[in-house]
Amino acid sequence: MKKLVFTFLVAACLIGAANAQKLNLGKAASAASNSVSAFTFTNEDAIKLSKEAVNWMDEHNEVAGSDDSYTQRLERLFGKHQSQDGLALNYKVYLVSDINAFACADGSVRVFSSLMDIMTDDELLSIIGHEIGHVKNEDTKDAMKNAYMKAAAIDAAGSASKTVQALSDSQLGELANAMLDASHSRKQESEADEYAYGFMKQHGYNVVAAYTAFKKLALLSSGDTNVSGFEKMLSSHPDSEKRAEEVKAKAEKDGLWQDPGTVELPQTRLTE
């Protein structure tokens, strides 16, 4: 089984469709910027660059077709949320072995098939709700700004134009890599968790699924050698156990808690 094509590190890992490949992020040189404080970067810039980076990834990775079971499942779950909270969203599935999902400033949501293999419908709803929260809260703007600085090898403090420049194909690959590898602050993650819980509650979904999703992520990142059939995940969302308990506390307060019992990773994929 192949993985998403990439240059450096991308968060996550394994089990998917027979023809899955690892996400392709191409080959490009990286250069970290010394400062971004002097660089003018707008929401419009973030949206434009996000669309370019996602288009690049769509072209360089296997996207599930309209008749694929992964696409049909995602459409069933998220088709009704294409205009969520004032955001215009578009969804696709990457047939890759990485376990991940992301949403970008332009409203692009990409779910990896291997994540769908281990998460129930409500768990997927909670995870993508979290990613949408990052977009709604504009966390993606700063992440994209930093990704652009790396891809374009620009030092904002010394940049002559102080404006976004066009990127080459190799730079777009580097931009995609930096975008996926971006981390959010603890406060941003907490706010996205709050958004996901509210999203679940607002639409009448089972909020306990946010708890079980975090428990599964904790299993993937624990290094437990008994987790067979799954490559261990390098989680971009740390403290999954703690975050699961925070969901439980909210659900108990709202009278929505129902003990799910022991949470385990499935031994067979959940998308058919």
pLDDT, tens digit, 9 for 90 and up, residues 67-77: 999 999 999 99
Could you give the CA distance from residue 53 to residue 151 in angstroms, rounded to a whole number?
11
Asked whether 105 and 144 are in contact (CB, 8 A), the reply is yes
Indicate the pLDDT class of residue 98, thresholds 50, 70 and 90: confident
Cα distances (angstroms) measured from residue 19 to each of 13, 119, 147, 249:
15, 20, 30, 41
Kindly report the average pLDDT of the chain as a whole number.
Answer: 78
pLDDT score of 105 more than 50: yes
Query: Among 90-99, 118-127, 223-232, 242-251, where is mean pLDDT lowest?
Result: 223-232
Question: What integer pLDDT is reported at residue 224 of this predicted model?
Answer: 52
131 is a catalytic site residue: yes
**Mean pLDDT (whole number) for 54-62:** 92
Q: Which of 136, 110, 9 is nearest to 51 (CA)?
A: 110
Question: What integer pLDDT is reported at residue 26 of this predicted model?
Answer: 57
Indicate the pLDDT class of residue 207, thresholds 50, 70 and 90: very high
Which tokens is 39 given?
């660089």
Could you give the CA distance from residue 255 to residue 258 in angstroms, rounded to a whole number?
9
**Mean pLDDT (whole number) for 230-254:** 75
Question: What integer pLDDT is reported at residue 38 of this predicted model?
Answer: 46
pLDDT score of 9 more than 80: no
Question: What integer pLDDT is reported at residue 8 of this predicted model?
Answer: 26
Query: Among 2-16, 110-124, 211-225, 227-241, where is mean pLDDT lowest?
Result: 2-16
Indicate the pLDDT class of residue 163, thresholds 50, 70 and 90: low
- Three-state DSSP at 103 gives strand
Indicate the pLDDT class of residue 4, thresholds 50, 70 and 90: low
Length, in residues, of the chain: 272
**Mean pLDDT (whole number) for 32-51:** 68
Q: Which of 62, 75, 123, 131 is catalytic?
A: 131
Angle between helices 139-151 and 169-180 (to 10 degrees): 140
Question: What integer pLDDT is reported at residue 189 of this predicted model?
Answer: 87
